[in-house]
């Protein structure tokens, strides 16, 4: 388990849920992981603790995305932390995972311009600007993985606003994959289906049972199911995959 020894990785939104599982797995493979989060200090600390318990290395950086100066704040913290630990600021792997939505969604009639602006600011504009900024630190052969959603191909009217932002995320992967290919940097999208992120809905057995029916395997995804796919894309074994949409929804899109 040392496919990422000597590498550094930033996982946005890794204080909880899928992001935490990604951070733990990348660290398990030997990467030094930057655990980014918005405000939940305790949760971010817990991710770092879990990594360290397994003998891995990680540090937390707090930066709310979707507000002025967000990416600058993130990279000030990232570069300071990397410099302290490694003496330089190279970033080999970027996972754009942080995003906002609500599990209950919003009826299309009730979506407001403000909500759209906030969703786009956090879920689409921030990831684009993070890719742009990260590419300054990224050596040749780097990896960028953008977390999308099966909802870009599975209609759910209450999630229209959120899904629009994930459509935009997939466009980042498509176009930037071509742009960064001369540097052997790969850029891919990973699309989870319903995945247990530790939220309250996943504590209610009847709700879980209902959600489970959506996947071909009749269970909800575990954060580790998605994190394993992301980890593979981060390794050298995935060097020939770029600009891809990787369905990590347990067959939800099979209909
Ligand atoms: P969670 O809601 O469990 O965690 C969200 C993470 O993002 C937290 O670390 C949170 O930080 C951070 N975050 C949220 N808003 C901001 C912000 N404005 N600025 C900075 N960080 C922020 O997420 P999930 O694990 O459910 O989802 C992870 C990714 O997977 C997302 O891109 C989501 O769209 C996608 N996805 C999830 C599915 C699911 O069923 N769970 C299905 C399909 C896609 P903090 O702890 O500080 O609040």
Give per-residue pLDDT as tens, 76-128: 999 999 999 999 999 999 999 999 998 889 999 999 999 999 999 999 999 99
Going from the Cα of 87 to the center of ligand 1, the distance in angstroms, rounded, reads 30
Least confident of 102-111, 138-147, 224-233: 102-111
Mean pLDDT, range 215-219, rounded to an integer: 98
Going from the Cα of 98 to the center of ligand 1, the distance in angstroms, rounded, reads 4
Mean pLDDT, range 23-28, rounded to an integer: 98
pLDDT for 35: 99
Q: How many CB atoms lie within 10 A of CB 188?
A: 24
Which of 11, 14, 17, 36 to mutate for ligand 1's pocket (most ligand atoms within 8 Å of CB)? 17
Rounded to two decimals, the ipTM of the complex is: 0.99
Instruction: Name the CATH superfamily for 8-245.
Output: NAD(P)-binding Rossmann-like Domain (3.40.50.720)
Judged against a pLDDT cut of 80, whether residue 1 lies above it is answered with no
> Which ligand 1 atom sits nearest the alpha carbon of residue 226?
30
Which of 25, 36, 38 to mutate for ligand 1's pocket (most ligand atoms within 8 Å of CB)? 38
Residues 176/124, Cβ–Cβ less than 8 Å: no
Percentage of the residues of the chain whose pLDDT score is greater than 90: 98
Going from the Cα of 37 to the center of ligand 1, the distance in angstroms, rounded, reads 9
pLDDT for 10: 99
Judged against a pLDDT cut of 80, whether residue 148 lies above it is answered with yes
pLDDT for 67: 98
pLDDT for 171: 98
> Which ligand 1 atom sits nearest the alpha carbon of residue 96?
32
Going from the Cα of 86 to the center of ligand 1, the distance in angstroms, rounded, reads 28
Residue 164 parent element (H or E):
helix 160-180
pLDDT for 52: 98
Residues 78/35, Cβ–Cβ less than 8 Å: no
pLDDT for 103: 84
pLDDT for 130: 99
Which residues have CB under 6 Å of ligand 1? 13-19, 37-40, 43, 64-66, 97-100, 122, 147, 149, 192, 194-195, 197
Residues 210/220, Cβ–Cβ less than 8 Å: no
Q: 119, 123, 104: which is closest to 170 by C-alpha?
A: 123
Q: Which sequence spans correspond to the domains of the chain?
A: 8-245
> Whose alpha carbon is nearest atom 26 of ligand 1?
197
Residues 252/217, Cβ–Cβ less than 8 Å: no
Going from the Cα of 230 to the center of ligand 1, the distance in angstroms, rounded, reads 15
């Amino acid at each position: 388990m040392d496919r990422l020894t000597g590498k550094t990785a930033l996982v946005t939104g890794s204080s909880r849920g899928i992001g935490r599982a990604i951070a733990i797995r990348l660290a398990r493979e030997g990467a030094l992981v930057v655990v980014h989060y918005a405000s939940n200090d305790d949760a971010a600390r817990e991710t770092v603790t879990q990594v360290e318990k397994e003998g891995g290395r990680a540090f937390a950086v707090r930066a709310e995305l979707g507000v002025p100066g967000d990416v600058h704040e993130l990279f000030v913290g990232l570069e300071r932390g990397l410099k302290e630990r490694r003496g330089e600021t190279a970033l080999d792997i970027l996972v754009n995972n942080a995003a906002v939505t609500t599990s209950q969604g919003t009826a299309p009639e009730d979506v407001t311009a403000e909500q759209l602006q906030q969703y786009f600011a956090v879920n689409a504009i921030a990831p684009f600007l993070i890719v742009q900024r990260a590419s300054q630190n990224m050596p040749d052969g780097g990896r960028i993985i953008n977390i999308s959603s099966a909802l870009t191909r599975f209609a759910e009217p209450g999630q229209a606003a959120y899904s629009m932002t994930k459509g935009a995320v997939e466009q980042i992967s498509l176009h930037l994959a071509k742009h960064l290919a001369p540097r052997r940097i790969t850029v891919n999208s990973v699309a989870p289906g319903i995945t247990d992120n530790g939220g309250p809905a996943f504590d209610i057995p009847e709700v879980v049972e209902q959600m489970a029916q959506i996947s071909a395997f009749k269970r909800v995804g575990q954060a580790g199911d998605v994190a394993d796919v992301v980890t593979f894309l981060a390794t050298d074994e995935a060097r020939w995959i770029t600009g891809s949409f990787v369905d990590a929804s347990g067959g939800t899109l099979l209909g």
